[in-house]
Chain A
Amino acid sequence: DTGVSQDPRHKITKRGQNVTFRCDPISEHNRLYWYRQTLGQGPEFLTYFQNEAQLEKSRLLSDRFSAERPKGSFSTLEIQRTEQGDSAMYLCASSLRAQGYTFGSGTRLTVV
Chain B
Amino acid sequence: GQQLNQSPQSMFIQEGEDVSMNCTSSSIFNTWLWYKQEPGEGPVLLIALYKAGELTSNGRLTAQFGITRKDSFLNISASIPSDVGIYFCAGQGPSNDYKLSFGAGTTVTVRA
Residue numbers of A with Cβ under 8 A of B are: 4, 9, 31, 33, 35, 40-45, 48, 55-56, 91, 93, 98-99, 101-106, 108
Whole-angstrom CA separation of A46 from B9 in the bound complex: 24
Whole-angstrom CA separation of A9 from B41 in the bound complex: 10
Residue numbers of B with Cβ under 8 A of A are: 1-2, 4, 6, 31, 33, 35, 40-45, 48, 50, 88, 90, 92-93, 96-105
Report yes or no: A41 in contact with B100, Cβ–Cβ below 8 A: no
- How many pairs, one residue from A and one from B, have CB atoms within 8 Å of each other in the complex? 63
Residues on A with beta carbons closer than 8 Å to the beta carbon of B44? 103
Whole-angstrom CA separation of A45 from B2 in the bound complex: 10
Report yes or no: A42 in contact with B90, Cβ–Cβ below 8 A: yes
Could you say which of A41, A98, A102 contacts B97, with CB atoms under 8 Å apart? A98
Minimal beta-carbon separation of B11 from chain A (angstroms):
15
Could you say which of B41, B103, B105 contacts A105, with CB atoms under 8 Å apart? B41
- Among residues of B, the one whose C-beta sits closest to the C-beta of A9 is B40
Residues on A with beta carbons closer than 8 Å to the beta carbon of B92? 98
**Could you write out 13 A-B pairs with CB less than 8 Å apart?**
A40-B105, A41-B2, A42-B6, A42-B103, A42-B104, A43-B43, A43-B100, A45-B100, A56-B96, A56-B98, A91-B42, A98-B31, A103-B42
